[in-house]
C-alpha cells in the first residue's frame, strides 16, 4: 500500500473529525453563553442606572435571540444582492478567450502587443470577482438621528430579528400595543393623516374634543357671535350629537384640514416611540413620537433636541388609554377660548387685558 495514500486518508479523517468537534464545541459555547447572559439580564434588571438609562437589556436580549436562532439553524446575516450570473458568464467567457489569445501570442516569447488582450483578460477577471464582493445591502442611513443620539441598530440583520423580543424584555410591549399609550397615539396620527376623523375621535378624551369644538367656535365667532352662553350651549350640543349636528360636517372638515396642514410632511411609517415611560400623573402618561427614518431607532444618554418630535399626553379613562392633548404636557382647559397651554397661541394673544 502506498504510504502517501495512507497519509492522505488519515489527514482527511482528521480534518473531518476536527470539523465535527469544532462544530459541537461552538454549539456548546453558545449554550453556555445563553445561560450566562440570561443570568446577567436578571442582574441588570436590578441595576436602576443600567436598566433605565441604557438599552443594555435590549442589547443582551438581542444577542440571546440571535444565538438561539443560530442554534436552531435559522438563517442570519446581512441581506445581500443576488449574484449577477449573466455578468459572471459573460466576463468569464471573454476572460477565457482573451486569456488564450494572450497565451497564444506569448508562448514562443513575450511580445509587447500581447499586453492588449492581457489587459482585457485582467479586467474581465476583476469584473468576475466584483460580482461576488460587496453585495451586502446597506442599512438605513444613520444621518437621520439627532446630534447626541446613538443608533440602536448595528447594521446586522440579526439585530432586526431581536428588536421585538428586546421590547418585551424591557417591559415596553404593552405600551406599543394598539390599545397602549404609544399605540393609541400612533393610531390617532394615522387616522388623521387618512382623513378618518370619526375613527380618530374614538381615541380621544371628551375634554379634548370639547376644547377643539370651543376653539373652532371661537375662531369663527364672527358667524356665531360673542355671547359666552350661546357658544357654551352650541359646543355642548355639538359634543352630544356629533355627526347629527348641523355644524358637524363643517367642523370636522376644518379639523382634518388643520391637522393635514400641520402634519403635511409627517410620515407615520417613519415614527418611533420613546421607550422610557413618562408618567406625569396617576392616570396620565406622556408619549413622545419622533421620526427615525430607516435608522432603526436610537437612544440618548442626556438632554437632546429631537427634531420633528411629537408630544402627546395620554389619559387612562375607564380602563383604556385616550388622547388628552396633542400639544403640551397638560390637558387643555375648556373656555372661550380654551387654554392649550401653548406659548404664543394667537387666540390668547388677541385677548384684551
pLDDT value of position 285: 96
Nearest to 280 by CA among 329, 322, 325, 340: 329
High-pLDDT (> 70) share of the chain, %: 75
Bond preceding residue 337 cis, omega within 30 of 0:
yes
Q: CB–CB of 314/278 below 8 Å? A: no
pLDDT(256) > 90? yes
DSSP of 217-238: HHHTHHHH-S-HHHHHHHHHHH
- Per-residue pLDDT band for 216 (boundaries 50, 70, 90) equals very high
pLDDT band at 143 (very low <50, low <70, confident <90, very high): very low
Question: Worst-scoring range by mean pLDDT, 38-42, 84-88, 148-152?
Answer: 148-152
Q: Identify which has the larger pLDDT, 206 or 343.
A: 206
The pLDDT of residue 301: 46
Average pLDDT in the chain = 79
Q: Which helix (H) or strand (E) segment is 1 a member of?
A: none
In sequence order, which residues have a C-beta less than 8 Å from that of residue 162 and are 6 or more positions away?
Answer: 61, 62, 63, 64, 65, 66
> b/e string for 25-46 if b means 16 or more Cβ within 10 A?
eeeeebeeebeeeeeeeeebee
Please check whether residue 188 is in contact with residue 203, taking contact to mean a CB–CB distance below 8 angstroms: yes
Is the CB of residue 204 less than 8 Å from the CB of residue 323? yes
Tens digit of each residue's pLDDT (9 = 90 or more) over 280-290: 999 999 998 88
pLDDT in tens, 19-43: 444 545 777 888 888 888 888 888 8
Of 180, 179, 243, nearest in space to 209 by CA: 243
pLDDT at 137: 58
**Contact predicate 217/245, CB 8 Å:** no
Please give the C-alpha separations between residue 162 and each of 49, 158, 183, 274, 291, in angstroms, as whole numbers.
Answer: 23, 7, 20, 18, 21
Going by pLDDT thresholds of 50, 70 and 90, the confidence category of residue 80 is low
Whether the per-residue pLDDT at 171 is higher than 70: the answer is no
Strand locations in 189-338, DSSP E? 271-273, 278-281, 284-291, 298-300, 310-317, 320-325
**What count of Cα atoms within 13 Å lies in the side-chain half-sphere of residue 194?**
12
- The secondary structure of residue 204, as a DSSP letter, is B
Residue 242 has pLDDT above 80, yes or no: yes
Least confident of 4-8, 125-129, 177-181, 225-229: 4-8
Dihedral, CA atoms, 113, 115, 119, 121, nearest 10 degrees?
90
Q: Using pLDDT thresholds of 50, 70 and 90, give the confidence band for residue 351.
A: confident
Could you give the CA distance from residue 239 to residue 254 in angstroms, rounded to a whole number? Answer: 16
Rounded to 10 degrees, the C-alpha dihedral 204/205/210/213 comes to -10
Identify the band that residue 56 occupies on the pLDDT scale cut at 50, 70 and 90: confident
Distance CA 217, CA 292 (A): 37
Q: Where are the domains of the chain?
A: 3-78+139-157, 85-131, 178-349
Residue 4 above 70 pLDDT?
A: no
- Mean pLDDT for 118-141 is 76
Amino acid at each position: 500500500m502506498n504510504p502517501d495514500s495512507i497519509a492522505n486518508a488519515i489527514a482527511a479523517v482528521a480534518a473531518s473529525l476536527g470539523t465535527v468537534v469544532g462544530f459541537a464545541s461552538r454549539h456548546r459555547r453558545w449554550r453556555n453563553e445563553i445561560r450566562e447572559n440570561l443570568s446577567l439580564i436578571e442582574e441588570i434588571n436590578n441595576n436602576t442606572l443600567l436598566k433605565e438609562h441604557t438599552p443594555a437589556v435590549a442589547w443582551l436580549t438581542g444577542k440571546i435571540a440571535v444565538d438561539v436562532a443560530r442554534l436552531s439553524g435559522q438563517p442570519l446575516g446581512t441581506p445581500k444582492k443576488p449574484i449577477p450570473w449573466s455578468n459572471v458568464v459573460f466576463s468569464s467567457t471573454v476572460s477565457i478567450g482573451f486569456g488564450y489569445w494572450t497565451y497564444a501570442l506569448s508562448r514562443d516569447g513575450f511580445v509587447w502587443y500581447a499586453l492588449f488582450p492581457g489587459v482585457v483578460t485582467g479586467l474581465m477577471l476583476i469584473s468576475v470577482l466584483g460580482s461576488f464582493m460587496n453585495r451586502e445591502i446597506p442599512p438605513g442611513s444613520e444621518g437621520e438621528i439627532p446630534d447626541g443620539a446613538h443608533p440602536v441598530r448595528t447594521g446586522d440583520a440579526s439585530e432586526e430579528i431581536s428588536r421585538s423580543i428586546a421590547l418585551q424584555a424591557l417591559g415596553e410591549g404593552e405600551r406599543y400595543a394598539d390599545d397602549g399609550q404609544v399605540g393609541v397615539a400612533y393610531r390617532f396620527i394615522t387616522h388623521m393623516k387618512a382623513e378618518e376623523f370619526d375613527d380618530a375621535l374614538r381615541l380621544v378624551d371628551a375634554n379634548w374634543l370639547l376644547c377643539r369644538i370651543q376653539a373652532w367656535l371661537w375662531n369663527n365667532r364672527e358667524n356665531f357671535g360673542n355671547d359666552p352662553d350661546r357658544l357654551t350651549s352650541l359646543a355642548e350640543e355639538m359634543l352630544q350629537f356629533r355627526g347629527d349636528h348641523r355644524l358637524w360636517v363643517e367642523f370636522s372638515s376644518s379639523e382634518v384640514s388643520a391637522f393635514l396642514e400641520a402634519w403635511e410632511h409627517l410620515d407615520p411609517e417613519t415614527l418611533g416611540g420613546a421607550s422610557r415611560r413618562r408618567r406625569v400623573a396617576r392616570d396620565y402618561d406622556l408619549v413622545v413620537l419622533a421620526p427615525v427614518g430607516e435608522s432603526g431607532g436610537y437612544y440618548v444618554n442626556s438632554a437632546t433636541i429631537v427634531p420633528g418630535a411629537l408630544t402627546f399626553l395620554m389619559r387612562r379613562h375607564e380602563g383604556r388609554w385616550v388622547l388628552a392633548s396633542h400639544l403640551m404636557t397638560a390637558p387643555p382647559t375648556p373656555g372661550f377660548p380654551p387654554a392649550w397651554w401653548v406659548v404664543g397661541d394667537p387666540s390668547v394673544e388677541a385677548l384684551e387685558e
